[in-house]
Amino acid sequence: MTQVPDAIERMLLDEETIATRVRELAAQISADYANVDDLILIGVLKGSFIFLADLARCLTVPHHVDFIALSSYNRGTISTGAVRLIMDTRASVTDHHVLIVEDIVDTGYTLSYLLRTFRARKPTSLRACALLSKPERREVEVAVDYLGFEIPNVWVVGYGLDYADRFRTLPYIATLKQEMDE
Ligand code: PRP
């Protein structure tokens, strides 16, 4: 039985719902890259680390895992959209199939920056996978090729997602009580 922290308001996606969707996404990705032997999954730290770990282990196609870390200015309620790469991938992505793996697409600035940045490096193909999307928050149009769930505009934690770096390792995705989300 998982202990639910006091700060949690309500469960949005339980473990089984997430696991089922992750398996579906992995099956779709495995089918789409069936004839590819140089797929690189690029996880965007920190939020994607749990989703990426589960997704990668469900894939039936050969793949490498790499990571990047970003820094954004004025992240929070007001986003300027300014994003900076603070840790790059270990391997070159040129002439490789690249799949960016995100936990959530919110305003879209981060994914849009990543697609622009990686496209410039001339990969063989470039797609994006995100577990969650908040369409109401979108400020820039961005294509998500593999999407787990659309969710409403509420602050969510768990399964990699945080509030002030807490709650990332909860096995489910939940909303926070009002007094935390201020
Ligand atoms: C989150 C998430 C995405 C980004 C999405 O990262 O992991 O990278 O925000 O937001 P956007 O669509 O508005 O650009 P965050 O900056 O919270 O860092 P973290 O992953 O380390 O928690």
DSSP letters of 93-128?
-TTSEEEEEEEEESSSHHHHHHHHHHHTT--SEEEE
pLDDT of 2 = 62
Q: Which tokens sit at 42? A: 């690029």
Q: Return phi, psi of residue 157, to 5°.
A: -135, 165
- What's the CA dihedral at 12, 27, 137, 177 to 10 degrees? 20
Residue 112 in contact with ligand 1 by CB distance below 6 A: no
pLDDT at 80: 65
Three-state DSSP state, 175: strand
CB of 138 sitting under 6 A from ligand 1: no
CA distance 43 to 63: 13
Residue 137 CA, closest ligand 1 atom number:
13
Which ligand 1 atom minimizes the distance to the CA of 161?
Answer: 22
Tokens standing for residue 120: 């410039």
User: Which one of the listed residues 54, 66, 103, 106 is annotated catalytic?
Assistant: 106
Cβ of 107 closer than 6 Å to ligand 1, yes or no, is: yes
The reported pLDDT for the residue numbered 77 is: 53
Residue 6 confidence (pLDDT): 87
> Does the C-beta of 106 come closer than 6 Å to ligand 1?
yes
Atom 6, ligand 1: residue with shortest CA distance: 47
The Cα 5–Cα 25 span in angstroms is: 29
DSSP string, 54-94: HHHHH--S-EEEEEEEEEETT-SSS----EEEEE--SS--T
Q: Whose CA is nearest to atom 13 of ligand 1?
A: 107
pLDDT of residue 179: 63
- Give yes or no: 32 in active site: no
Residue 13 CA, ligand 1 centroid: distance in Å:
19
Q: Which residue carries 């970003």 as its tokens?
A: 70
Summary count for the chain: helices (H), strands (E):
3, 9
Q: Which residues contact 180 (CB under 8 A, 6 or more apart)?
A: 7, 163
- Position 159 scores a pLDDT of 98
Q: pLDDT per position in the chain (182 positions), as tens?
A: 566 788 899 999 999 999 999 999 999 999 999 999 999 999 999 999 999 999 999 999 999 999 999 987 655 555 667 889 999 999 999 999 999 999 999 999 999 999 999 999 999 999 999 999 999 999 999 999 999 999 999 999 999 999 999 999 999 999 998 766 55
